[in-house]
């Protein structure tokens, strides 16, 4: 096995302004890929790391923190100096205008460093009718149209926690935009502003189901179609043991035939009647009754190794504690030559880095996040980025980092 090369984003320097879930998630994706991510936190009052001014953030792995007083000209100059000296990426998680009013907007920073990729993330569109309103994942998902697709027939729309807008449509979409801008920079030599919002991101994720609305596969209304809970052989079922469930996705004829064999329902005419939506309620009752006759473990013995498209619905508690399950947290993508960083802590004999990631991993193994105290790890990062030393290039006053010598150009 060839030795692994450096992670794909090794050497990329990222300034991430502290915020709530989507911005930190983008920063975590960059950090997991090997970028050096320095979170810019508000300086704790009185120099205490217990200040409540920092948002609750557990998406901190492979990051460090720099505590800055952004109400102080010295704090602003410090951020500007970091950009001017060669930061590659900046993540702005605030409402439009917040960093601009501090003198840290794109028009202020790109002249200092034309190679900077300035990533900013909002919930609503920056130019839309909701741009001045507060919101959360559920609101962005609502106005994107995607929420109207989610939920059972005759029930109200229901969001899947805050996965779709915050993380998929927001943080992961901004991450993609930053990567595209870095790729463009490699040929143009120039950075640019990258804007993502959770409305457009969620809507983009809904491209396929939105197209299906114009076809027989998706035109029956919410919760009545093939892939949204309407079809009984693409659904979930309770088993005999309380609180346990299985998933069924036997769409193709050969998979449906394997499902019927495992349930001992073959030869009852369901093979031909399954295409008729009027037959779906009756088939759902039959499947529900049969699945309740065995425990989830017993159904696993029936269907494991088959093409019936039946799989247990596993909970994170059992994934974390059962080594036989595929619950060891790994990098999101396998890069054979330049793997990302490890999530699960590695022992003295780490596995294949392409699969498990490089390095020692992080406490919590991907199941428990860790808080990052304001200022934690900043001295090492500043030394690594620019060779800065405390007392020579910067000082820490009342918990806030500031430059020793302020360049008047900043």
Residues labelled as active-site residues = 166
Q: How far, in Å, CA of 343 to CA of 366, rounded?
A: 6
Q: How far, in Å, CA of 109 to CA of 379, rounded?
A: 23
CB neighbours of residue 45 within 10 Å: 12
293 in Cβ contact with 238 (< 8 Å): no
Q: Whose structure tokens read 């620019």?
A: 386
Q: How far, in Å, CA of 357 to CA of 362, rounded?
A: 11
Q: How far, in Å, CA of 344 to CA of 357, rounded?
A: 9
> Which two tokens mark 248?
């069924």
> Which two tokens mark 399?
């918990």
């Amino acid at each position: 096995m060839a030795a692994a090369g450096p992670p794909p984003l090794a050497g990329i320097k990222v300034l991430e302004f502290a915020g709530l879930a989507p911005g930190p998630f983008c920063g975590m994706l960059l950090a997991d890929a090997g970028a050096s991510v320095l979170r810019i936190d508000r300086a704790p009052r009185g120099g205490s790391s217990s200040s409540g001014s920092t948002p609750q953030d557990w998406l901190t792995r492979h990051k460090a923190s720099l505590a800055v007083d952004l109400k102080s000209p010295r704090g602003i100059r410090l951020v500007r100096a970091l950009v001017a000296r060669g930061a590659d990426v900046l993540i702005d998680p605030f409402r439009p205008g917040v960093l601009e009013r501090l003198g840290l907007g794109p028009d202020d920073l790109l002249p200092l460093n034309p190679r900077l990729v300035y990533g900013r993330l909002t919930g609503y569109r920056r130019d839309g009718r909701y741009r001045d309103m507060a919101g959360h994942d559920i609101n962005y998902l609502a106005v994107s149209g995607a929420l109207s697709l989610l939920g059972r027939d005759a029930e109200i729309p229901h969001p899947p926690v805050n996965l779709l807008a915050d993380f998929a449509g927001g943080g992961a979409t901004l991450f993609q935009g930053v990567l595209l801008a870095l790729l463009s920079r490699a040929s143009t030599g120039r950075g640019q502003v990258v804007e993502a919002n959770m409305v457009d991101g969620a809507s983009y994720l809904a491209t396929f189901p939105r197209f299906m609305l114009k076809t027989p596969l998706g035109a029956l209304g919410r919760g009545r179609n093939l892939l949204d809970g309407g079809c009984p052989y693409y659904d979930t079922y309770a088993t005999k043991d309380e609180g346990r469930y299985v998933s069924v996705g036997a769409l193709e004829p050969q998979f449906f035939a394997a499902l019927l064999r495992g349930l001992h329902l073959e030869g009852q005419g369901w093979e031909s009647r399954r295409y008729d939506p009027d037959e779906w309620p009756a088939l759902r009752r039959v499947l529900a009754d049969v699945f309740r006759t065995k425990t989830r473990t017993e159904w696993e013995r029936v269907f494991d190794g088959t093409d019936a498209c039946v799989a247990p619905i596993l909970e994170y508690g059992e994934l974390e504690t059962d080594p036989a399950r595929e619950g060891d947290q790994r990098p999101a993508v396998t890069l054979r030559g330049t793997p990302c960083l490890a999530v699960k802590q590695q022992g003295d004999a780490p596995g294949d880095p392409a699969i498990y990631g490089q390095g020692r991993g992080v406490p919590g193994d991907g199941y428990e996040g860790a808080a990052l105290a304001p200022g934690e790890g900043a001295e090492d990062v500043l030394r690594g980025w620019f060779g800065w030393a405390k007392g020579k290039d910067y000082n820490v006053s009342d918990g806030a980092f500031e430059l020793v010598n302020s360049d008047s150009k900043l």
